[in-house]
Structure 1
Amino acid sequence: MKKIFLFLFLITSIFGFSQKVESYRLTKEQIIQRELNEVSDFPIYKAFEYSDKGGVYDLILTENKKIISKKDTLNTKIQAICVMNDHGGFLEKWRINDFLEDYIPKETTIWFWTKYCSTKDLDGDGFIDPVIVYGTRTEYGEIRRVKIITLHNNKKYAIRAVECDLDHCRSFKKDQNLNLLPEKIQVYLDLLIVKLRKEQNLLLTDG
C-alpha cells in the first residue's frame, strides 16, 4: 500500500512540475528558429513564450514601422498575436489589432508599452492572464490614447482612455464585464492604472 501511495505521489509531482507557470522573453534567434515571423503581418517588436496548465504559448507583439528614421520609428498599426505550436504549424488563440485614429491633434504613432505589459498568473489558478498595454502619441509628442487589454479564459477585457487637457475631450472607460474578473486581477489592474498615472504623468480619468 505504501508503494502505491509513493507511486501516486511521484506521478502527481511529475505532472505538477510539467504544469509549472512560467514566462520569458524570446531572443531574435529564438524568434527566427520558431519561424514566428510567418505568423505576423508586421515586423516583430518583441515576443514571449509562456507555459501554464493549458500548454505552451508564444505571444508576439508586432508594429508595422511605417516611417523609420534616425530619430523615430513611427507605427500606424499594431498586432498582438497569441499562438500555440500545433503539429509543426501554429494554432492562433487570440489576436489584438489597432491603428491610428482620426483625432485632433493628429496621432502620429502607436506602440506597445512593454514596460507595463505582463504574462503572469494574476489570480493563482494555474493559467497565465496576459496584460497588453499600448498607447498613441500626437504630432506634438504627447500621449493621446492608452489601452489596457487583459486576457482571462481567452476572453478580452479592455480599459480605454483618451488624454486631453480639456474636460470634454478626455475619457476613461472600463468594459462593463471587467467587474466579472477575479478580484486579484481587478486589484492588479487598479494598481497598474495608479502606476501609469504616477510614472507617465497621465490623468486616466473621465472629463
Structure 2
Amino acid sequence: MNKFDKQEIISFFGILNKNNINYILLRNIGNELPDNLSKTKDIDIIVKIQDKQKLENVLLENKWEKIKHPHRRVPYLYSMNAFDFYNLKGLHIDVAYELACRSIITRQWIPLDQKIQDNVWRYKREVHNSPWKYLLSYEIEMVHLLTRCIFDKKIFTKGYISRIDEIYPLSNKDVLAEYLDLVFFKFRYTLLKKVKHKEYNTIINEYLTFKDY
C-alpha cells in the first residue's frame, strides 16, 4: 500500500489529545488526513514551545523515535526554535514551534511577526468529529499557505490553490490584510487582489519584481 493506515494517524492524535499537548494541525492539503496520507508525506503540526519537552517525553514513551530533521542544516534566524522530527514505522511528524518561512535568496528559516505567532494560539479553531482538535484560524492559515507557496515552495500547486480558494471567502479580510502587511508590506494589496481573482500563476514573479515598498 502507498498510504498509511488510518488507525496509525488516529492513534498519533489520540496520544496528543490524551496528554493535553497544546498543538495545532498546520495543513491537510487535499484532505489527505486521516484516510489518504501518502507514505511520501509527513504530518505537520505546530506545538507551543512550553510543551516541547512534554511532547518529546510522551512520544518516546509511546515508542516514537526522535530523528534528525531533513532541514537540520538550514540556519534558523532571530533565535527561532528548530523543528523536530519524529518517526514511528515510517510515519513522520514534522513539529514546528513557530510559523516561519524561508528567505528567498539565502534560504534561511525566518519566524513570522510576533503578532502572528501570538494569534496562532489566541485564535486557533477547535474542530469536532476529527482525530485532531485544533486548526489555525482561517486568516492565519491563509498567511501560512501563501508564505509556503511564495517563499518555501516557490510555486502554487493545485492542492494549495484549492485550499486557499476554499478558506479565502471564510476569512475576515481586514484581519487578513493586517497579517499580510506584516509579511509582504505594500505588496499585500497586489497579493490580495490576485488571490481574489485567482491569478496564482503571476504572484511569485510579481512579488520578486515588486519595487513599490
Which has the larger share of strand? 1
Which structure carries more relative contact order (alpha carbon 8 Å, separation 6+)?
2
Which has the larger share of helix? 2
TM-score (norm 2): 0.34
Q: Which has the larger radius of gyration?
A: 1
TM-score (norm 1): 0.35
